[in-house]
Every structure is written in structure tokens, then in C-alpha cells.
Amino acid sequence: KAGVTQTPRYLIKTRGQQVTLSCSPISGHRSVSWYQQTPGQGLQFLFEYFSETQRNKGNFPGRFSGRQFSNSRSEMNVSTLELGDSALYLCASSGDRDYSGNTIYFGEGSWLTVV
């Protein structure tokens, strides 16, 4: 069974540009969450999507957005990039089994560098 797949793995962008990151969850998983990981802030929750609807959102500015497609694949977009957006962006998927717990599985991440 394939794991969570994220593309691209590495990218460099210039301040002011925008970026789109893609995530394919584990087959059968309907919940996709996004996290930002930086050395100073650890793992910060961005948002979660379930059945194409944003279910929860973390404390990030509106420049950070996402969406989920009918096949559960998800994308996140960051507009007007700032230097501080340089981070590892992690996608995680979950089977969302309410009565059995929510084990989430992470992808390898997308390394974004803003210059």
C-alpha cells in the first residue's frame, strides 16, 4: 500500500511569488492535514480537509490556503511568499475512524526555501 506522497520534494521561490504543493493520501484515507515544520516552531497545524471540506484551520494568515479534490488528493497554496515561509511542509492522511482512533501518517514533506 503506497504511503502519503508529496510533490515537489524541494523548491526555491522568490519573495512575493506564490507556491502550490500537492499531496496524495494513502488509498482510502479521506482526511488530509497540512503542517508547517520549522526549527524554532516545531510542527504547526495549518488545516485539515475531509471530503473536500475544510474541517479545521490553524493560526496562519489568509495567504495560506488549501483544497481537497473528490479523490481526496489535496493541494495547499501560499501566496505572496515571505522569507519566514521557508519551512518543511508536511502532509498527513488519516482514515478518520471515529471509534478506533485517528492514526495519522505523514508524507516525506516539501522543502520550501524562499529567497
Partner 1 sequence: GENVEQHPSTLSVQEGDSAVIKCTYSDSASNYFPWYKQELGKGPQLIIDIRSNVGEKKDQRIAVTLNKTAKHFSLHITETQPEDSAVYFCAASMYSSASKIIFGSGTRLSIRP
Distances (CA, A) of 94 to 18, 90, 97, 114: 27, 13, 8, 30
Return the number of other C-beta atoms located less than 10 Å from residue 16's C-beta: 10
Q: What's the CA gap between 29 and 99, in Å, rounded? A: 15
Distances (CA, A) of 91 to 10, 11, 14, 51, 54: 14, 16, 23, 16, 14
Q: Does 90 bind partner 1 (CB under 8 A)?
A: yes
CB of 25 to partner 1, least distance (A): 11
Q: Which is nearer to partner 1, 14 or 28 (CB)?
A: 28
Q: Which is nearer to partner 1, 13 or 50 (CB)?
A: 50
Return the number of other C-beta atoms located less than 10 Å from residue 97's C-beta: 10
Pattern 5-34, partner 1, x by CB under 8 A = -x------------------------x-x-
Q: Under rule CB under 8 A, which residues in 43-82 are in contact with partner 1?
A: 43, 45, 47-48, 55-56
Query: Of 20-28, 60-68, 69-77, 88-96, which segment contacts partner 1 by CB under 8 A?
Result: 88-96
Q: Which is nearer to partner 1, 70 or 98 (CB)?
A: 98
